[in-house]
Amino acid sequence: MKKYRYACLTLCLCRCTENSEEIFRHRSLESSNDKNRGNKIFTNQMKLVFYSLILNNHQANVADELWNLTGHSYCFVELANLQAEHRKGDSHDYSDRPYLLRAWQSEEAYSQAMELAYTAECCVFSGIQALTFQKERMRLGLLSFDMSERWLKRGILNLFSPAILKMFLSYHFGGWSKKPLYKLCCSAFASEDQHKLFTYRGRCYKWGYFTRVEKIDVETFPDVSTSNITPLMWCSRYLMLKHPELPVLMARQLKNKGYRFMLDMYGSGEYEIQTRQLAKELDVEDVICFMGVKPNNELLNDMRRHCIFLFTSDKNEGWGAVANESMTNGCVLVASDGIGSSPYLVKDKQTGLLFTSPQTSSSFGHPDIAALNSLCSKVEFLLDNPCECKKIRQHSIALMQELWNPRIAAERLLTLIDHLQKGKDTPFVEGPCSKA
């Protein structure tokens, strides 16, 4: 009878949803694969349920840990059937994960996902696609988290984005400020944005994306103190927000100053041709090697053969999981201070180096000179101080192994949930689930 009531309520809710949400759901269901229909059953009293657009390599590692730590009382609700081109290069098949519920796959799965929103001990919602479920959970006033990167990447104008505006209005006119709803910030700038919008004030906690962290032997990596040529690495899509012009311009300055290095640039994208042309024009093709696209496992191995990793995105970068990967695999990260993960992961000259973020308006024709000079000074410091470089590398690896890894994140999230249920705040002073 209980399941019948939930099913009836779900059908009513589906008919009453806003047009955009209804269209989204039906389009997702139309792309369903019948062979996996209804093959997983989850109990009503789940410890924790995540609602997110897709299960990918950014979330699968911490999801695996939560599944084990909760004694299999965890569910990840996937809300869309995205094609490969929308998976950010992640080709892994996660369909065998025992905790995965694909709400897009059938009416039955969608109804089950809605039922979990009513009954789970705690829920985490990410993105506009989860809003339908979040609204129902908030109507009941049940413990929940909203998880997101920053809302105001482009300033207050972002508030006019339909997705952000919907979530903003839901918070202020849905009475959410009086409900047990908290924010997991997948960007160091997210809490500041929420404060400006009078949302989640005093309720923001540090979070992020957690890539796999393995125990590694630092001594097996190249030692810059004895290397004649220091290997540098840049790995990204060639997009304007990634600023691929900066490492090329940096290479010219370093070459002119007599530094011995080799810059390997990985990836592809719409500005790859312009980047290659710039390298030719600046006569730095002898110190830059364009490596193309490689599978993720090969990239991680290649990171271990480089000393310095350049992360040159501007503030339009969300979290930037490549920061985690480079630090885990022994690179000293030199990152723009506008990247979402940078202030969380990097203490300047301790666990990495931060340079001044490039302006979003800068590009090949008008590069940001202040950002370029800042980037060059940081890299020159590492090249001039190989012992410091080695020390920073050791500290960054330790940070990832001891704090910013999937296991620690999962343990801390469960601890935070328990504390909030008892009317207490987080016990953590830094790292995941500390106050943002």
Cβ pair 235, 266 in contact under 8 A = yes
Query: How large is the average pLDDT for residues 317-321?
Result: 96
Q: Which residues fall within 8 angstroms of residue 425, CB to CB, at 6 or more apart?
A: 419, 435
Q: Please count the residues of the chain.
A: 436
**Looking at the whole model, is its pTM more than 0.85?**
yes
pLDDT of residue 92: 82
Give 293 or 228, the one with higher predicted confidence. Answer: 293
Cβ pair 311, 326 in contact under 8 A = yes
Architecture of domain 218-402: 3-Layer(aba) Sandwich (3.40)
Beginning with the edge strand found earlier in the chain, give each strand of the sheet holding 308-311 in spatial order: 288-292, 261-266, 230-235, 308-311, 332-336, 353-355
pLDDT of residue 88: 56
In the chain, CATH 3.40.50.2000 covers 2-210+406-421, 218-402
Q: What six digits make up the tokens of 161?
A: 């984005």
Quick one: 2-210+406-421 is in which CATH superfamily?
A: Glycogen Phosphorylase B; (3.40.50.2000)
Query: How large is the average pLDDT for residues 296-307?
Result: 94
Nearest to 428 by CA among 228, 207, 221, 267: 207
Question: What would the 3-class secondary structure string for 166-186 be?
Answer: HHHHHHHHCCHHHCCEEEEEC
pLDDT of residue 82: 82
pLDDT of residue 196: 95
Give 92 or 346, the one with higher predicted confidence. Answer: 346
pLDDT of residue 9: 35
pLDDT of residue 42: 73
Find the farthest-apart pair of alpha carbons in the chain and give their distance in angstroms, rounded: 78
The one-letter code for the residue type at 252 is R
